[in-house]
Amino acid sequence: MKSNTPPDSISYDGQEPPPHPTIRSLRELIDLVSGRSFKESELLEPSGLAEILPFPFMGLVGQTEMKVALLLALINPAINGVLLLGPRGTGKTTAVRSLFDLLPDIKRSACFYGCLPQDIESGGMDAVCPDCARKYAEGLPLTKSDRVRLVELPLNTRIDDVVGGLDDRAQVHERMRLKRGILAEADQNILYVDEINLLGDDIVDATLDAAAQGKYTVHRGPATATYNARFTLIGSMNPEEGNLRPQIMDRFGLRIIVRGLQEAHERLEAYNRVHAYTENPRQIIEHYRRETDQARQDVQEARRLLPQVELPDDLAHTCIKMIQRLKIDSLRAEINLFEAARAYTAADGRNKVELNDVQAVAPMCLRLRRSSFMTRYFQEQTEEDLEIEAELKPVQN
């Protein structure tokens, strides 16, 4: 497929990236660090620790495109999430969980009801709970600084766990109260859904609707509640085990084809690091600590810069023309492309998107969007319309 061809500026496993005129800070960091090897001889004694510490992101071998996509998702939630497609054992889940140490800080409501100062600014004092109204009047903050969390939606989950259901304990007290579901917990966080193609339709639909609207409403008996659900969705799947419905595929901003490492020396390096991680996770996390801290700062700084990043009109027109030439119909294609390019620009510390930025992210935004069914369908409709018009001509004369 033509749209799968990587542009010059993205390196793939085992291929040396061509020289690039512009230095990309975040990508450069990824490329440099991922190549820094971990020697078997450096390994300390097994730690014997049973704790679960995620593998360090900066220690993942290769897979540059996947790593860039995940960082872009941390920088700009408006890219509408990432879908990782690939066979088992290619490190998709490891990569997502490894984001743990890079998750940025955000302002979060300090209140159980999720009250925010902007609620008061738009809806007055009645828009928040009495406690927060009092705090606001006294000039106290309604938010606190908190880290973005990685929330996982397990495969065997039920719809009531996802959207929230009646709280059994509350019913004993005859007060019908609703429990918060996973989607509400994911507000302002990352929601990771492994094997998304194997989830029930009701759960996938609820998740995607919440992701698109940033909130959702639950009705259970007489109880109704609306929750914020402004999360970044990351899904992964093995295409061998069943495909996603096309309308679901369309909802993901970035699509990454994850293949196994192609070069023997990379596979050996990956083995060494995984072995070291299994023996003593803290040691390999410390091995990449400096770069991990640097990458986390870069993400935080890019998030701060993002609102100032502009996409020039003429470049936007060029992008739309390209999307039309590729015969992609969904308007989400350009929205996601523009937002991904803005995040990429912010990661480089600039405030104006250039063609290079678009080229770097275009394949991940545009691949798997064309539908041969729709192309055929439109063609047949055009032909039919021409036939109808031809038949109408004698009537008009």
Between CA 184 and CA 189 the distance in angstroms is 10
We find the least distance from the C-beta atom of residue 105 to Zn ion, in angstroms, to be 21
We find the least distance from the C-beta atom of residue 182 to Zn ion, in angstroms, to be 22
We find the least distance from the C-beta atom of residue 127 to Zn ion, in angstroms, to be 10
Instruction: Assess whether 108 carries a catalytic annotation.
Output: no
384: tokens are: 């039919």
Footprint of Zn ion on this chain (CB under 5 A)? Answer: 111, 113, 115, 129, 132
Q: Whose Cβ is closer to Zn ion: residue 71's or residue 116's?
A: 116
We find the least distance from the C-beta atom of residue 122 to Zn ion, in angstroms, to be 15
Q: Whose Cβ is closer to Zn ion: residue 128's or residue 353's?
A: 128
Q: Which residues contact 233 (CB under 8 A, 6 or more apart)?
A: 80, 81, 82, 191, 193, 207, 208, 211, 251, 252
Q: Whose Cβ is closer to Zn ion: residue 132's or residue 311's?
A: 132
Q: Whose Cβ is closer to Zn ion: residue 132's or residue 337's?
A: 132
Q: Whose Cβ is closer to Zn ion: residue 115's or residue 328's?
A: 115
Q: Measured between alpha carbons, how far is residue 15 from residues 28, 63, 171, 263, 359 in Å?
A: 15, 11, 61, 9, 18
Residue 376, judged by CB atoms within 10 A of its CB (0-12, 13-18, 19+), counts as: exposed
Q: Which residues contact 115 (CB under 8 A, 6 or more apart)?
A: 109, 127, 128, 129, 132, 142
Residue pair 195/153 in contact (Cβ under 8 Å)? The answer is no
Q: Whose Cβ is closer to Zn ion: residue 132's or residue 341's?
A: 132
We find the least distance from the C-beta atom of residue 215 to Zn ion, in angstroms, to be 16
Distance linking the first and last C-alpha atoms of the chain:
47
Burial readout 207-230 (b: 16 or more C-beta within 10 A, e: otherwise): bbebbeeeebebebeebebebbbe
Residue pair 356/370 in contact (Cβ under 8 Å)? The answer is no
Catalytic residue, candidates 220, 267, 332, 350: 332
- For 326, phi and psi rounded to 5 degrees? -80, 0
Q: How many CB atoms lie within 10 A of CB 384?
A: 10
Half-sphere exposure of 290 (CA within 13 A, CB side): 5
164: tokens are: 């929230």
Between CA 136 and CA 392 the distance in angstroms is 69
Q: Whose Cβ is closer to Zn ion: residue 128's or residue 248's?
A: 128
We find the least distance from the C-beta atom of residue 148 to Zn ion, in angstroms, to be 21
Bridge partners of 256, per DSSP, are 84
We find the least distance from the C-beta atom of residue 142 to Zn ion, in angstroms, to be 7
Between CA 247 and CA 369 the distance in angstroms is 10
Catalytic residues: 332
